[in-house]
Amino acid sequence: MESGAPLKSSTLADSVFDRLRTAIVKGELPPGSKVNEPQLSKQYGISRGPLREAIRRLEGCKLVEIKPNAGAKVISLNREQAIEIYEIRESLEGLACRLAAAKASADDCLALRELLAKHEQQIESADGRLYYQKEGDLDFHYLIIQLSGNTRLFNLLCGELYHLLRLYRVQTSSEPSRPVQAFKEHHQIVDAIENQDAELAELLMKRHIAHARHALMTRLDTDPVSGKYQDSAITRIKVAGGEV
Amino acid sequence: MESGAPLKSSTLADSVFDRLRTAIVKGELPPGSKVNEPQLSKQYGISRGPLREAIRRLEGCKLVEIKPNAGAKVISLNREQAIEIYEIRESLEGLACRLAAAKASADDCLALRELLAKHEQQIESADGRLYYQKEGDLDFHYLIIQLSGNTRLFNLLCGELYHLLRLYRVQTSSEPSRPVQAFKEHHQIVDAIENQDAELAELLMKRHIAHARHALMTRLDTDPVSGKYQDSAITRIKVAGGEV
DNA sequence: ATTCGAATAATTGTTGACATATTGCAGATT
DNA sequence: AATCTGCAATATGTCAACAATTATTCGAAT
């Protein structure tokens, strides 16, 4: 009977950890902003104890920085740090793709093909708006990482780096970019996986992510709204939605 | 004046986090053992509040697993997980080595040479005992990762994966292995970095770590004391040193 | 008027106590 | 004798209050 509501974490610290992490990656808690314990405890209707535990867990995930006697602040990613993350992601997703190519079964390849077909429909149907990149791209990468069979790699990429990238995307107010080209590259990657060509699959995935990185960087150069985001006025705005 | 004692963390949660992490990677808290809050709070002479914050931070670092209403347990690495970590490490240290080769200055190369010379002395002086591998190998890898200039990569490799590997080494009661061969490989790597041959440096580093992994795995096959470590009787022994 | 300093307010760090869930044990029943 | 049930003990989850440090504001002196 009570299995119908598994969403609510049984402990308050876990629950507020999820809510805080979501608030951070969605930008409701802007990068660089202070994490005010009394305010958040009132906002979430809990005591400061579980809240502090959740913040400490966020610190372990590197989503906030805590200075003694000064409180926690949401991390703020600058351009250099985004490059660092993309370098790591390029290397690790290349690894994941190589592993996936080496051990992918026929059913796995079929699932990849179906995913690509679904994305193609979405590209054709959504005229111009291109819902594709935001969810579809992640689905594709997630599936390949899952196929790699390396659980820790999956947690690292999809659990930690993913949140950091989401945080950066919300900073740069990114829109989908180069979806058609990305779609072609996805097909190439699946071809390599189907042929069990592990080396080629790794190379193509690394190049695919390098392309995405360059697209992001050139957009950062043309769109100067982000980049030197931290310590600017926009980081000091009050957190919205404080009434609930 | 007060700069002489930076060791003592100003907050209890940070301090006990360091002590707990050290206790875990040193094996004083064996893998799979329960993290008993009342006992540890008495042992460290603090309240349960900061202790729980430290445990939550350890959870964020993936060094303990917390089940609601059941407490925290030290993670236990089996053979598959060790392989997973080595796969990630191979990829990331290859990346670090490539980056280091691309941007290493003449002084950096000199520092690498000096480090290798120091290691050579230690190999020659320590007759058979071979103090080398344990500290020297880490020094070498640390320096290269630092030369990569990627701060997040440094934190990831030297901060998180390093602790996991230490934990696994203490599980397998590892001794130094194949130090002479490793020393040769270190020289090859530095040669590539000096020549600014980034691709070769990456390849050599990845192969170097693959060799280390294979050495560990073959030793695991011959020495059956580890491997299926978790849930065995040895994980249920009481934590030693409970009197202080 | 500006700057320095002290008092005040707010926030963080820490503790002990209370509520709740789990574990282990003892005794009764089949 | 074995199993099930209920109670006791232990551990975890949560909260409110206290202590200590930091930020702020108000006032005084140059």
pLDDT in the model for residue A167: 83
Chain B residues 194 to 213 with C-beta below 7 Å from nucleic strand C: none
Question: Which of the pair, A26 or B173, is modelled with greater confidence?
Answer: A26
Which residue pairs, CB below 8 angstroms and at least 24 apart, start in B166-169?
B166/B25, B166/B26, B167/B24, B167/B25, B167/B27, B167/B31, B167/B63, B167/B75, B167/B77, B168/B77, B168/B82, B168/B85
Q: How close is the nearest chain A Cα to the Cα of B152, in Å?
A: 7
In the predicted structure, residue B59 carries a pLDDT above the cut 50? yes
Measured from the Cβ of residue A59, the count of other Cβ atoms closer than 10 Å reads 22
Tell me the pTM.
0.84
State whether CATH 1.10.10.10 applies to domain A4-74: yes
Residue B128 CB lies within 7 Å of the nucleic strand D = no
Query: Among A136-150, B62-76, B115-129, B144-158, whose mean pLDDT is lowest?
Result: B115-129
pLDDT in the model for residue B131: 53
Band of pLDDT at residue A143, cut at 50, 70 and 90: very high
Interatomic separation, CA of residue A73 and C1' of nucleotide D26, rounded (Å): 29
How big is chain B by its Cα radius of gyration, in Å? 20
Mean pLDDT of chain B: 83
Residue A36 CB lies within 7 Å of the nucleic strand C = yes
Query: Among A97-101, B175-179, B238-242, whose mean pLDDT is lowest?
Result: B238-242
A47 touches chain B (CB under 8 A): no
Q: How close is the nearest chain A Cα to the Cα of B60, in Å?
A: 4
Interatomic separation, CA of residue B9 and C1' of nucleotide C2, rounded (Å): 39
Determine the Cα–Cα distance for residues A105 and A158; give it in Å rounded to an integer: 22
Measured from the Cβ of residue A128, the count of other Cβ atoms closer than 10 Å reads 4
Percent of chain A topping pLDDT 90: 62
Question: Which of the pair, A218 or B16, is modelled with greater confidence?
Answer: B16
Strand C, nucleotides < 7 Å from a protein CB: these are: 10-17, 21-23
Question: Which residue on chain B is closest to A150 by alpha carbon?
Answer: B84
- Whose tokens are 């011959």? That residue is B222
Exposure class string for B126-153: b at 16+ Cβ within 10 A, else e: eeeebebbeebbeebbeebbbbbbbebb
Domain ranges of chain A: 4-74, 79-239
DSSP code at position B65: E
pLDDT in tens, B79-105: 999 999 999 999 999 999 999 999 999
Strand D, nucleotides < 7 Å from a protein CB: these are: 10-17, 21-23
Q: How far is CA B15 from CA B66, B67, B74, B116, B117, in A?
A: 20, 24, 18, 35, 36
Band of pLDDT at residue B7, cut at 50, 70 and 90: very low
Determine the Cα–Cα distance for residues B197 and B100; give it in Å rounded to an integer: 10
pLDDT in tens, B106-127: 999 999 999 999 888 876 665 5
Determine the Cα–Cα distance for residues B84 and B68; give it in Å rounded to an integer: 27
Chain B residues 155 to 184 with C-beta below 7 Å from nucleic strand D: none
What average pLDDT does this structure show over B42-57? Answer: 97
What average pLDDT does this structure show over A138-155? Answer: 95
pLDDT in the model for residue A165: 85
Pick from B14, B56, B85: CB nearest A13:
B56
DSSP sequence for A30-98: -TT-EE-HHHHHHHHT--HHHHHHHHHHHHHTTSEEEETTTEEEE----HHHHHHHHHHHHHHHHHHHH
Domain A79-239 in CATH: superfamily? GntR ligand-binding domain-like (1.20.120.530)
pLDDT in the model for residue B228: 41
Determine the Cα–Cα distance for residues A66 and B139; give it in Å rounded to an integer: 28
